Structure 1
Amino acid sequence: MLEVGLKGHQEMTVTDQFTAKTMGSGVMDVFATPAMLALMEKTAFMSVAEHLNEGCGTVGTRVEIEHVASSPIGMKITCDSELTAIEGRKLVFKVEAYDSKGLIGKGTHERFIIESEKFQEKTNRKLEQ
Structure 2
Amino acid sequence: MTDDQTPSARIILPVTPADTAQAVGSGDLPVLGTPRLIALAEQATVAAAVGLLAPGQTTVGTRVRFDHLYPTPVGGTVTAAAELAHRDDRLLRFTVAAHDGDGRLVGEGEITRVIVDAQRFMAKL
TM bucket, shorter chain:
over 0.9
Paired positions, count: 121
Tell me the residue number matched to 1:104: 106
Q: How many Å apart are 1:86 and its aligned residue?
A: 0.4
Spell out the pairing of 1:84-123 with structure 2 (5 A cutoff): 84-101=85-102, 102-123=104-125
Matches within 5 A, 1:33-112: 33-101=34-102, 102-112=104-114
Return the alpha-carbon distance in structure 1 between the equivalents of residues 47 and 62 of structure 2: 16
What RMSD over aligned residues (CA atoms) do the two structures have, in Å? 1.3
Q: Which has the larger radius of gyration?
A: 1
Structure 1, gaps ≥5 residues long: 124-129
The one-letter code of the counterpart of 1:121 is: A
TM-score, normalisation: structure 2: 0.93
Moved more, 100-109 or 4-13: 4-13
Give SS of 2:52's match: coil
Q: Which runs of 4+ in 1 moved over 4 A?
A: none
The SS at the match of 1:58 is strand
Aligned-pair identity in percent equals: 33
| Offset, 1:47 | 1.1
